[in-house]
């Protein structure tokens, strides 16, 4: 029995908030390079005419009242049904031309997550240096803590399989969603890939990312995810620090005065170490459950050539 090749269903998800100047260009760009894809514009409460522009386009328009990109992505991942999901911001900073290449790594190389890593074609003096430095620092921190190959942890340009999306326990409200995607991929140990994509700054210089406020939230999110995913390493590190402080207090000249400090830090170290061991067992069970949920969702995007005999030809 011969099996014909079925084109995977692609969904382009575009979260947006007050993107009246750019949403039309973004939709047109992705509609041109992915003519068979379904495009979903998720409005997060725009008040500048973005909704009116989206209504005039051939897209599915959805509304999410709870503010924050994480809330929008959570709603989109729950509602949209597809084989391949392309997530991109609506500010026209990402290059649609690389979308087919990103998707080809899903269909041909069996990746579950592909990231469009941002590079600039030339130096833009308007680029906010705080964002650039922060992204490099956060990316390196995530690489070390989660042992992931990602090169741009805060990129808003990603392509994912259905099983990755439907097993993703989204709980972030804001821009921390990008970090959670990277952590989820690391926990599942899925096959990842990255492709460089030209990136340009917003034309209106009205970035919704606040350097220090959102940077602090992203850092806290990374530490919380690390605590949940690797409790033995997280609490073990804190226990080691307490042991070092206990040793330092022991070396003081007035040894008697620091005796209580020594035992205090040692007690805290033991408590932290015990908490880490206990939570590690719970974390292992959670990881197994998420992995099982991931495996229960069939991989529907394996590319098959037409008119070739399948090794599963006798199955229906």
Pull the structure tokens for residue 40. 């979903």
pLDDT for residue 255: 54
What are the residues whose beta carbons fall under 8 Å from the beta carbon of 174, sequence distance 6 or more? 68, 69, 70, 214, 217
pLDDT for residue 274: 93
User: Residue 259 CB: number of other CB atoms within 10 A?
Assistant: 13
- What stretch of H or E contains 159? strand 158-161
Token look-up 């382009």 returns 12
State CA 139 to chain mean position distance: 12
pLDDT for residue 291: 84
- Residue 94: beta bridge partners? 199
Domain boundaries, the chain: 10-228, 231-291
**DSSP letters for 236-262:** HHHHHHHHHHHHHHHTSSSTTTTHHHH
pLDDT for residue 4: 42
Cα distance between residue 193 and residue 260, in whole Å: 52
pLDDT for residue 312: 30
What are the residues whose beta carbons fall under 8 Å from the beta carbon of 197, sequence distance 6 or more? 94, 95, 98, 116, 117, 118, 119, 157
| CB contact at 8 A, 207 and 22 | no
Per-residue pLDDT of the chain (316 residues; tens, 9 = 90+): 333 446 789 999 999 998 999 999 999 999 999 999 999 999 998 888 899 999 999 899 999 999 889 899 999 999 999 999 999 999 899 999 999 999 999 998 889 999 999 886 544 544 566 677 878 888 899 989 988 888 898 899 999 999 999 998 877 777 788 899 999 998 888 999 999 988 877 665 555 666 677 788 888 989 988 998 899 999 999 999 999 988 887 776 555 556 778 888 899 999 999 999 999 888 888 888 888 888 888 776 555 444 433 333 322 2
Pull the structure tokens for residue 295. 């495996």
Closest by Cα among 274, 220, 277, 272 to 242: 272
Query: Out of 3.90.550.10, 3.40.1190.20, 3.20.10.10, 3.40.50.300, which CATH number does the structure's domain 10-228 have?
Result: 3.90.550.10
pLDDT for residue 151: 87
**DSSP count for the chain of H helices, then E strands:** 10, 7
């Amino acid at each position: 029995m011969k099996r014909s090749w079925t084109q995977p269903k692609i969904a382009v998800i575009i979260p947006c908030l007050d993107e009246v100047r750019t949403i039309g260009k973004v939709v047109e760009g992705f509609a041109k390079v992915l003519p068979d894809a379904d495009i979903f514009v998720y409005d997060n409460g725009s008040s500048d005419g973005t909704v009116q522009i989206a209504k005039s386009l051939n897209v599915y328009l959805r509304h999410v009242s709870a503010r924050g990109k994480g809330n929008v992505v959570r709603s989109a991942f729950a509602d949209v049904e597809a084989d391949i999901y392309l997530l991109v911001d609506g500010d026209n900073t990402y290059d649609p031309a690389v979308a087919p290449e990103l998707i080809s790594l899903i269909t041909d190389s069996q990746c579950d997550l592909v990231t469009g890593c941002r590079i600039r074609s030339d130096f833009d003096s308007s680029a906010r240096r705080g964002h650039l430095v922060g992204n490099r620092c956060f990316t390196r921190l995530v690489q070390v803590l989660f042992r992931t190959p990602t090169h741009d942890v805060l990129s808003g340009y990603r392509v994912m399989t259905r099983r990755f999306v439907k097993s993703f326990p989204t709980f972030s409200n804001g821009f921390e969603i990008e970090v959670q995607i990277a952590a989820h991929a690391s926990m599942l140990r899925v096959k990842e890939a990255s492709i460089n994509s030209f990136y340009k700054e917003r034309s209106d210089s009205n970035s919704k990312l606040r350097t220090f406020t959102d940077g602090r939230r992203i850092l806290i999110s990374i530490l919380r995810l690390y605590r949940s995913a690797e409790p033995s390493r997280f609490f073990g590190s804190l226990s080691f620090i307490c042991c070092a402080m206990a040793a330092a207090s022991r070396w003081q000249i007035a040894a008697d005065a620091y005796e209580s400090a020594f035992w205090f830090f040692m007690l805290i170290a033991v408590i932290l170490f015990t908490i880490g061991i206990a939570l590690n067992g719970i974390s292992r069970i959670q990881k197994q459950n998420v992995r099982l949920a991931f495996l229960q969702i069939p991989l529907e995007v394996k590319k098959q050539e037409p008119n070739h005999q399948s090794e599963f030809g006798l199955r229906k």
